[in-house]
Structure 1
Amino acid sequence: MNTRPRIALLSNPRSTGNIAQLPRIRAFCAEHPDVFHYEVEHAHQIGDAMRTIARVQPKLLVINGGDGTVQAALTELHNGGHFQGAAPPVAVLPSGKTNLIAMDLGIQGDPVRSLEKLIDLARSDFSSSLVDRELIALSFEENGDKPVIGMFLGGAGLADIMLYCRNRIYPLGLPNGISHVITAFAVVLRQVIGLKAKFLPPEPRPLRVSVHKGGAITGKFALLAVTTLEKLLLSGELGSAGGGPLKFVAVEQRAGSLLGAFFASLGGRLGRTKLTGVHVEEADAISIEGDSSDVILDGETFRAERGRPIFLRPATPLSFVRLAA
């Protein structure tokens, strides 16, 4: 009988969802020898985790944490070289506050139930459930050797909003849904109505964004996003030109542009309808330069400075498990 674990589960106990769910997950793993469970509390421990998981040789790697945990794991998979040949396919459980990556892959709801489905898949040929996803490689050098790997980057006003929610609203201890509603209300007051107050997100700083082969745009942007996910913000799919794997959206800091992008996104027309102050492209390479302006790649914050731009390029694609709804 083959007793080798079919699934390696990498958990971050500090992720929001795991605070309540991890005891159930631990009990589930104890009852299922198909699962090899490894817990980390800090990003610097993920390298050791991957070395150990590589020796187990699982058919499937499941990441149980928020987008930041996923980003750290993807970075280690890309840079670490722990697996002989290709890394195993990856599945993501929604255990953080935003879970954009898990949502994009159709994995939602109870994590134990998702684990049960993944075990069933790993016991069979699950090639039909695999999808290849492009990844974003972020570095501060045009040919950086060891980039940070992720799938969603927010910059300009979007990064300010994400940091505002993380640093000002989440500490209030409110449920995620209420926290996001309060943040959305603050965004309307600040970016649509134009109200300025200390309790609201700050005004975006100027940025220069170069979309290679597409020229450069400069200004203040209410929203800037780069992603390889299929679902971007409120839009099911993004219509854009350029043909590159990096999907890029920037909305200038004007109420009309922001509202136009919002309603186009709701209607699935973002990138398909030309809107003043709304830039939508697909690119092979992007650089971002700013006046100490923050960008966030899957939960980790970086700062774009003048003379020290951030470079974004596609990384080697990775196979992910996508569960049917």
Structure 2
Amino acid sequence: MTMTDRSRRGHFALISNPLSQRNRRGMEAIEAVLDDLPGIDHYKLGDVAEMPDILRHLAADGTRVVALNGGDGTVQAGLTHILEDRPFESPPAIAILPRGMTNMTAADVGLTGRPGSALRKLHRGLAGDGPEPAIRNRHVLRLENAAGFPPQRGMFFGAAAIVQAIELCRDRVHSLGLEAALANGVTLLGLLANWLFRGAEGSVLRGENVSIRIDGEVRPEAERLLVLATTLDRLVLGSRPFWNDDREPLRFTAIDYPPDHLFRRAGKLLYGGPERALPAGYRSCGAGRVELDMTCRFTLDGQLYDPEPGKPVILSAADRLDFLRI
């Protein structure tokens, strides 16, 4: 079935979060573009809590393509309600208009170019008046046992240094007004330089105790500098800090603390090939289910959570969705 068939000659729904970083200054321009494009149902969120009702309405209307206009948090909320509430008989294709601060999910599976141009190309492609969008089918991560929350969906999980880096970026870098890629680069280079000149004892990064079980196999308890799991192909700055994934749905990486020669090995860690020849404290593999016993905070697509006391954080990725890229 082509995307033209699925989308009823260009019809799709756009859910916008006006409070996302770039939408605070750009919603009027997007709405002006929408005025020229027939067949697009536009919904503006007053609160992300409105997402379930909107999705139920779209499911009842037979909508086959849902575009999410916002940051990683808006996308994460949409994925959660689509896959946990199951309002659609068959999940819609997802298009992501990157309008947040980091936009890591959109960088891998979202729309490209300026927002107005991206919406026009998507509309033409779905209507059969231009190139069809490419379909990128991806597993979607499921996270259980975040304190105070039902199971959540997303594309990237991180703990220990990743949470510390997010907090540092928000506190010190985002206030500079830099674009997302530049802000991420400044943060990463600053952390590596800090490690190079001050070492583990003087670094702003610290280890966290995390016990790991991967598909039932227990890994030795240790302090971890970094723990991540993702279903994306590339992360910030195009990095790929995972290897040996064995075609499993989750790409999982953990680095022990303190790491062996972190600065020297950073290039291979972030951009190396399938065989990276890293020391034993650098571990990466594919996984179907990961259980983490920890007390430290963690992130799912940029949103911060605490673990449910006494329960492991459980990661899996059985479900898949189609993402449109054009």
- Taking structure 2 as the reference length, the TM-score comes to 0.85
1:169 partner amino acid:
V
Distance 1:263 1:214, change over 3 A: farther
Deviations 1:96-132 (A, max 9, x none): 1111111112632201111111111211398872222
Figure out how many residues of one structure are paired with residues of the other and give that number.
315
Q: Which of the numbers 310, 320, 323 marks the counterpart of 2:323? A: 320
Give the whole-Å Cα distance in 2 for the aligned partners of 1:14 and 1:250: 34
- Asked if the contact 1:62/1:93 (under 8 Å) is kept, the reply is yes
Aligned to 2:103: 99
Residue 62 (structure 2) pairs with residue 57 (structure 1): yes
- Asked if the contact 1:13/1:40 (under 8 Å) is kept, the reply is yes
Aligned to 1:130: 135
- Taking structure 1 as the reference length, the TM-score comes to 0.85
Cα root mean square deviation, aligned: 2.9
Deviations 1:32-84 (A, max 9, x none): 2221111114221111221222243333111111111000000010122222x
Residue 254 (structure 2) pairs with residue 244 (structure 1): no
Deviations 1:174-210 (A, max 9, x none): 554554344234412544432767xx74523211121
Unaligned 5+ segments in structure 2 are 1-6
2:157 partner amino acid:
L
Partner of 2:117, secondary structure, is helix
Between the two proteins, what is the percent identity of the paired residues? 28
Aligned to 2:23: 18
Distance 1:178 1:314, change over 3 A: closer
Residue 41 (structure 2) pairs with residue 32 (structure 1): no
1:11 partner amino acid:
S
Deviation at 1:274, TM superposition (A): 4.0
Aligned to 2:257: 253
Q: Which of the numbers 147, 152, 158 marks the counterpart of 1:148? A: 152
2:65 partner amino acid:
L
Give the whole-Å Cα distance in 1 for the aligned partners of 2:241 and 2:224: 22
Q: Which of the numbers 218, 221, 227 marks the counterpart of 2:221? A: 218
2:229 partner amino acid:
V
Unaligned 5+ segments in structure 1 are none
Aligned to 1:113: 117
Distance 1:175 1:132, change over 3 A: closer
Q: Which of the numbers 178, 184, 192 marks the counterpart of 1:180? A: 184
1:316 partner amino acid:
D
